[in-house]
Amino acid sequence: MKKSYQSLEDNPTNNMIQVIYRHLASKIPYLGLVILLTFSTSLSAQEGDPVKGKTIFNTNCASCHNLDRKMTGPALRNVESRLEDEQGLGRDWLDKWIRNSAGLIKSGDAYANQVYNEYNGTAMTAFPQLEDQDISDILAYTAEPAKEKVVVDEVTSGGGGSSEGGISSKLILGALAILFALLAIALILVRKTLNRFAEEKGIEAAQKDKSLPIWKAFVQNQFLVLVTVIFFLLASAYFVYGYLSQIGVDQGYEPVQPIHYSHRIHAGDNGIDCKYCHSSARVSKHSGIPSLNICMNCHKSIYQVADETQQEGMDEYGVDYNAEIQKLYKAVGWDEAEQTYTGVTEPVKWIRIHNLPDFAYFNHSQHVEVAGVQCQTCHGPVEEMEVMYQHAPLTMGWCINCHRETNVNVEGNAYYTKIHDELSKKYGVDKLTAAQMGGLECGKCHY
Amino acid sequence: MKSVFKIVVVLMVFASVVSCQKNSRPNYQFMPNMYEPVSYEAYQESDAFPGGVEAQLPAEGSIPRGGHMPFEIANTNDGYQLAKSSLMSPLDSTQIDRLRAGQLYDIYCGICHGKKGDGKGTLVKREKILGVPSYDDAGRAITQGSIYHTIYYGKNAMGSYANQLNEEERWQVVNYVLELKADLEK
């Protein structure tokens, strides 16, 4: 007995030790590489600091260069050693290129012209302000080995931990359910045994009276019947009225969109203004669904979400955000490898959520620009919505309520000063509501 | 026992009725012909156009009402240099609306370029978008013409903002960016 138990316990520890060794073993060559590379750069130029280099790289280079991906410009991992090996070009060439690439191209340098043409004649911004030390730092950063493996390990371990949490809460719930079931069974059993005892001892359980059953007594009492009937009629009228009045009201409508777009991440976490994407809300009747080129303003460079975000999406919402970005690329016809548009596009069939009936007129620009109403007033806490839904009922009563309660900002509006003054006098108030300015007239919305 | 069974049945029916309420489809409409428009609505699907999309680009060369003339300078390096050296703002000092320009800047530019134009907007701080330059960057030495060209066509990782800002708004933003640049250079 003890033996098998021990061997069971031994096995996992053995495995653990192996895992640790494997990580160490895989890290040793990396460490060696880091040391080697830092020494090699220090031989050719001043010693570069990869940490500082990362900061400089992120502020100056990252808009066009990624370490491992082609963007506007080429991938820059190990650029110095690659140039040395493949083109025989040294640090002085890189210095010239970074400080003034246009000058180098004009001077007729063969490789400079080759790169320039390869990237469709995109001119690299000149960085004359970068010191030798800065460039060394950047090159040290680009010479760092890729960290992909470590990242993957972190993701899987993180996933294990959180899914364990899910399992444990389910376990607790299951245990509780079983406990309650057991209690119920116990109660039934106790009752049964008690009954049996009673029978054996010849005690009769409390006998029921042989008087009128309650329903017969009820039927005989006509007043009670009348009251009940009236009650039921009123109650059913209430429910029928409630059912009829919600016909055509789509409050809570939450369709599944063709591309899962999280307002929570974009407007909430990243704080992007609503009007960044829905720019036509400022100037037109409609608050437009943004065209895909607006997505590409950012997603040209954001090709995948952060690992934590991805994990959160998988765990909490069951959504693979990176796959959704790929859907966007497919729809807009973006070739990730070549960083160009292929021209093959397919329109995304977004499902419209907020839709007023055709007999009611509503204008976004009037509310957003003129009145300065926040989008959330009608659309609810969009910045917290993972899936967009209709927050407000969009009924006429709801419109009118707001028009009655909302004060109009009349200050600094020279154009309407006179009419504002007269209306204030007429109603005897300082602040006018939208209703007092005619916001309840039928023809304002129905024509 | 029979009554328990009945209660369970009633509860199950109630539960199934309640769970039938689905939020993934719109509610019923009464007399939908009063609800649905006869004319085309924005973003409506239609067989009349390729791809079934009713929203179409205007024909090439069309000029919108309000007198916004087409932008003639090309989206090339030469065009950029030409704009940088020669393109001037049509707004005079009386037409500059700093308040509105600031609001537009904060919505469309500030999220990356930062409210002060130092290249440290929210998205940059959260490391979503990197490499956003400060407006006082010496290597770029932006001018009003180059700013307008960049807003119109985009540059490098930055996309075009021509469809989010109209011509007048673009020039307002250009002016605001120049002000931020001057503040940064102080």
Residues in chain A within 8 Å Cβ distance of B167:
none
Which residues are within 8 A (CB) of B161 and not within 5 positions of it... i.e. 6 or more apart? A297, B108, B151, B152, B154, B170
Structure tokens at A348: 């995304």
Assigned domain for B40 exists? no
Assigned domain for B119 exists? yes
CA A434 to chain centre: 35
Residues in chain B within 8 Å Cβ distance of A350:
43
Instruction: For residues A287 and A291, give the distance between their C-alpha atoms in angstroms, rounded to a whole number.
Output: 12
pLDDT at position A74 is 80
Task: Please identify among residues 238-257 of chain A the ones whose CB lies closer than 8 Å to any CB of chain B.
Answer: 246-250, 252-256
Number of domains in chain B: 1
pLDDT at position A16 is 46
- Mean pLDDT of the B116-124 span: 87
Instruction: For residues A332 and A328, give the distance between their C-alpha atoms in angstroms, rounded to a whole number.
Output: 6
Condensed to tens digits (0 to 9), the pLDDT of residues B125-175 reads 888 888 888 888 877 888 999 999 999 998 888 889 988 898 889 999 999
pLDDT at position B17 is 59
Assigned domain for B98 exists? yes
CB burial readout A34-46, b (16+ within 10 A) else e: eeebbeebeeebe
Q: What residue ranges of chain A have pLDDT lower than 50?
A: 1-21, 39-45, 149-164
pLDDT at position A31 is 55
User: What is the value of ipTM here, to two decimals?
Assistant: 0.85
Assigned domain for B27 exists? no
CA–CA min distance B37, chain A (Å): 5
Q: Of the candidates B24, B106, B122, which has its C-beta nearest A255's C-beta?
A: B24
Q: With CB atoms and an 8 Å threshold, state whether B29 touches A300.
A: no
Say which residue, A433 or B10, is predicted with more confidence: A433
CA–CA min distance B89, chain A (Å): 22
Task: Please identify among residues 273-332 of chain A the ones whose CB lies closer than 8 Å to any CB of chain B.
Answer: 273, 275-276, 279, 283, 286, 288-289, 291, 293-294, 296-298, 300-302
CATH of the domain at B139: 1.10.760.10
What mean pLDDT value characterizes chain B? 84
Assigned domain for B68 exists? no
Which residues are within 8 A (CB) of A322 and not within 5 positions of it... i.e. 6 or more apart? A304, A305, A310
Assigned domain for B6 exists? no
Residue A188 in contact with partner chain B when CB distance is under 8 A: no
Tally C-beta pairs within 8 A across A and B: 138
Assigned domain for B181 exists? yes
pLDDT at position A68 is 77
CB-based burial of residue B131 (10 Å sphere; 0-12 exposed, 13-18 middle, 19+ buried)? buried
pLDDT at position A207 is 62
Condensed to tens digits (0 to 9), the pLDDT of residues A130-165 reads 788 888 888 888 887 776 544 444 444 433 444 445
Q: With CB atoms and an 8 Å threshold, state whether A126 touches B164.
A: no
pLDDT at position A148 is 57
DSSP-assigned states of every residue in A323-384: HHHHHHHHHHTEETTTTEE-S------PPP-----TTS---HHIIIIIS---HHHHH-SGGG
Condensed to tens digits (0 to 9), the pLDDT of residues B37-67 reads 888 887 888 888 877 888 788 888 788 777 6
Q: With CB atoms and an 8 Å threshold, state whether A247 touches B37.
A: no
Q: How does residue B96 score in pLDDT terms, banded at 50, 70 and 90?
A: confident
* Domain of B137, in residue numbers: 77-185
pLDDT at position A162 is 42
pLDDT at position A155 is 41
CA–CA min distance A303, chain B (Å): 10
Assigned domain for B113 exists? yes
Residues in chain B within 8 Å Cβ distance of A347:
51-53
Which residues are within 8 A (CB) of B13 and not within 5 positions of it... i.e. 6 or more apart? none
- Mean pLDDT of the B110-122 span: 89
Residue A407 is classified by DSSP as B
Residue A61 in contact with partner chain B when CB distance is under 8 A: yes
Q: Of the candidates B26, B133, B157, which has its C-beta nearest A253's C-beta?
A: B26
